Amino acid sequence: QVQLQESGPGLVKPSETLSLTCTVSGDSISNYYWSWIRQPPGKGLEWIGYIYYSGSTNYNPSLRSRVTISVDTSKNQFSLNLNSVTAADTAVYYCARIKRGSGSYILEYWGPGTLVTVSS
Amino acid sequence: QSVLTQPPSVSGAPGQRVTISCTGSSSNIGARNDVHWYQQLTGTAPKLLIYGNSNRPSGVPDRFSGSKSGTSASLAISGLQAEDEADYYCQSYDRSLSAWVFGGGTKLTVL
């Protein structure tokens, strides 16, 4: 059974860059799509973007100017960088593995999430 | 304001049947994009519940079912149990936004 685990700083200062890593175990990162999703405290889910193991990406247009997702197949990890953060970026950040359906992308397995707070 | 609209809350007694609606538009659900449902127990990560409108992943009880018609989708839970108390989210793809979108979530309370 595949398992995902987010890691990174729990506190980031305004205007700085939020950096998180998702480590995948129990299966190879190859041949799959991988995604980041976030959830502000007490609010709903927001899709951030996804990456294919080959490196191709797709981002939420609302975040595209500030987001970079990358993959390291040698470490079975993929990462999220979100720059110029503000308090509005405070959220629990989840990584997930995508299952390709017939023309759709399904968030099949999720990590437990990590809370990132943006504050000085 | 979420692109997909869900009722903020629903409730039901043990053993009853409840439904949760997810209303979209011609640019998402109505554009023949699949709808997926996730269950989020308090303090935990979301878990895939229904995919491709009506399919259950292995291990999900058949008390959970999904359907889609026009610009809306629904999640039905029959034989309600205390352990079903959670937040439920629908998800689809929006062609106008070129983005995956979620509903605002529905909190299910088992009375």
Contacts of B29 (CB under 8 A, 6+ apart): B4, B22, B23, B35, B68, B70, B71, B72, B73, B92
What single string gives the DSSP state of each residue in A50-75?
EEETTS-EEE-TTTTTTEEEEEETTT
Which among B34, B44, B89 has CB closest to A101?
Answer: B34
Residues (pLDDT < 70) of chain A are none
Contact: A47, B52; criterion CB under 8 Å: no
Determine the average pLDDT of the residues in B34-47. 97
As a whole-number percent, the residues of chain A with pLDDT over 90 amount to 93
**pLDDT score at B6:** 98
Which among A45, A101, A111 has CB closest to B102?
Answer: A45
User: Please, which pLDDT band fits residue B68 given cuts at 50, 70 and 90?
Assistant: very high
User: Please, which pLDDT band fits residue B1 given cuts at 50, 70 and 90?
Assistant: confident
**pLDDT score at A103:** 73
User: Which tens digits make up the pLDDT trace of A68-103?
Assistant: 999 999 999 999 999 999 999 999 999 999 998 777
Determine the average pLDDT of the residues in B35-57. 97
**pLDDT score at A104:** 84
**pLDDT score at B60:** 97
Classify residue B51 by its DSSP letter. Answer: B
Cβ count near A96 (within 10 Å): 24
